[in-house]
Structure 1
Amino acid sequence: MRFSRRLACAAVALAFAPTIALAHGPTRQKATEVITIDATPAAVWALIKDFNALSKWHPAVAESPADKGNEVGSVRQLKLKNGGALTETLEGYNAEKMSYSYRAKDGGALPVTNYTSTITVMDEGGKAKVQWRGAFYRGYPNNDPPPDQNDEAAVKAITGVYQSGLQNLKALAEKK
């Protein structure tokens, strides 16, 4: 009798398995970019250490004022050169470790939601190694997202932001 109950339960579970799989929403995506810059870590940190300085080194950002500077809780209002906008909040700042973390609940101009990111400068044999990493969900929270708001679009957008920013940071830091 117990065997037939188990068999019946297993059959019911298998029958609903496809439905359960389809009910699952988006999964958290991640992106990490790393670049080595032929400059001291201190020199590179000096370029990026201010939460409101993104417009000084990221080629896509026109303005990046932060209401409380490097104080945790500071809100940065990004205005992009293409007309887009994004609001980010500083969640952690460690000058000694040359690192800060921030969050954007709404991706604004980016096809993401619940975006968190950390940028860190490390010493690699006297050169600066910069790591920019983030985690986020695609912009469309339901099943069957449009192509411009799916997982691939989200990863591509964030990876593009990181790559273009790090390449420009490298160019600026190695000029000096």
Structure 2
Amino acid sequence: MTWNFQKSLLIVTTIAALALAQHGWAHGPSRQKVTETITIDAPPAKVWAAIANFQDLSWLPGVAKTTGTGGNEPDTAKRQLTLDGGATIDESLYKYDAGEMSYSYRIDTVDVKVLPVNNYSSTITVLPADGGKSTVEWRGAFYRGYPNNDPPPELNDEAGIKAVTAIYRKGLENLKQKVEAAK
């Protein structure tokens, strides 16, 4: 091979490698995950009874009213949360297992100014714990509120994680208080 050909091949290979590397950097947001748990001094059946109705989210602080249709039927059940400030969140149930004391749902519509996430899904499960207690696990997965690169601070990954974590913690703490007070 001639020197010019080798030099040209090296330049083309370098440009191609840089182009591929840049393409990898501009992939957009990645799915974020949050898991929160709490131990409640009550048997699992009692805790499940407090959260089992998909249409009732009265235990979650900040929710002024819940309306819905379809009961606890996966792919049929819908609920609309009206928050204290008047904003709404529409959700759908896609998995329900009373025997496992667990259900999964997704957000259909929410203004990112209310909750800075997109493509949100969540599962809440009641598990037995030592001494006749229960552990409630609330897991969620979502993308940040701004789907493109360079999000504003209020719609970035950290904002989404912070908002979802706060909801889960407040909700689980309130559920614990409600169930334990009803002894």
TM-score, normalised relative to structure 2: 0.88
Counterpart contact for 1:106–1:115, Cα < 8 Å:
no
Q: Percent identity?
A: 52
Task: Name the structure 2 match of 1:61.
Answer: 63
Letter paired with 2:176: K
Counterpart contact for 1:106–1:114, Cα < 8 Å:
no
Assess, with a 3 A threshold, how the Cα gap between structure 1 residues 7 and 124 changes in structure 2: closer, same or farther: farther
1:115 is aligned to 2:117: no
Task: Name the structure 1 match of 2:134.
Answer: 128
Shift of 1:83: 2.1
Counterpart contact for 1:61–1:80, Cα < 8 Å:
yes
Query: Within 1, Cα distance between the matches of 2:167 and 2:173?
Result: 10
Letter paired with 1:32: T
1:137 is aligned to 2:140: no
TM-score, normalised relative to structure 1: 0.92
- Among residues 58, 69, 72, which one is paired with 1:70 in the alignment? 72
Shift of 1:6: 7.3
Counterpart contact for 1:107–1:114, Cα < 8 Å:
no
Counterpart contact for 1:110–1:154, Cα < 8 Å:
yes
Structure 1 residue runs without a partner (length 5+)? none
Query: Within 2, Cα distance between the matches of 1:76 and 1:9?
Result: 56
Which aligned runs of 4 or more in structure 1 are off by greater than 6 angstroms?
Answer: none
Query: Within 2, Cα distance between the matches of 1:6 and 1:103?
Result: 51
Flag the structure with larger Rg: 2
1:101 is aligned to 2:104: yes
Shift of 1:19: 2.6
Query: Within 1, Cα distance between the matches of 2:99 and 2:178?
Result: 22
- Give the RMSD, CA atoms, in angstroms: 1.8
